[in-house]
Amino acid sequence: MSETATEKLSNLVESIPNLYRVENVPKEEMGGLVAELTHAVYTHDSLYGDFCPILSYINCPPDKVFDYMSDPYCLMEWTYSMREFKEADEKGLMVGKDKIGNTTDIYFKVVANKEAGVVDYHCAWDQGEKLWMIYLNRIVDAQLVLNKPGSVVFWQNCKHPFYNDNPFPEKAPKGRPWVGNFWNMFYAGHKLELENLKNILEYRHANNLPIGPTNR
């Protein structure tokens, strides 16, 4: 008798340790493991150690959200501190000032795919050769996931090792704190920025206004 597809898959992974599958962990045991890992209170580090996810519902169609977020100049509206943009080269690299770092130059580019609903911001303080501060964004049609018009935006931050140690200390303005010093405030700070994004988009969509800034 030939193996079923399920049996073939099980045979492929049965020798790999530390997997939680119904074939090797009974439901009662799995329930206990899940209960053990579920807490009423979580520390900040346990939730946002190396990853800091932020999300929001926005009452604005996904295509409008994408058009707004993929326009680099819109970052001057909804971010707390990114200002004074200009083009740094012909390949989409921009440079501006991050006012949270006083006179800090921030280099960035937008990497977007409308079909996938992806708008990522590749950034770095002080230099534009290595853009290591990556802000990942996914725009999802709320009709699919919440059964109502609008969009859901998922924003994911990852704690790159450079947040702990500035790789280009010679380029830093004297006396300025390093961006990694603020990691424990990333969730709160970026949550407020996402609220800015939500409020701008919902206001303009509700009032049938141009979705992006009209002046550069």
pLDDT (tens digit per residue) in 15-42:
888 888 878 888 889 899 889 888 888 8
Token digits for 204? 């303009």
- Least Cα distance to 55 among 122, 147, 127, 140 occurs for 140
Query: What is the distance between the alpha carbons of residues 16 and 180, in angstroms, rounded to a whole number?
Result: 37
Residue with tokens 């407020």: 192
Q: Name the more confident of 216 and 112.
A: 112
- Least Cα distance to 179 among 138, 134, 137, 136 occurs for 134
In single-letter form, the type of residue at position 89 comes to D
CB 75 within 8 A of CB 82: yes
User: For residue 100, with 0-12 CB atoms within 10 Å meaning exposed, 13-18 middle and 19 or more buried, which class applies?
Assistant: middle
pTM: 0.88
- Least Cα distance to 183 among 197, 162, 209, 213 occurs for 162
Say what the pLDDT of residue 215 is. Answer: 52
Identify the band that residue 2 occupies on the pLDDT scale cut at 50, 70 and 90. low
What domains can be seen in the chain, in order of their start residue?
1-38 (no CATH), 43-206 (3.30.530.20)
Identify the band that residue 183 occupies on the pLDDT scale cut at 50, 70 and 90. very high
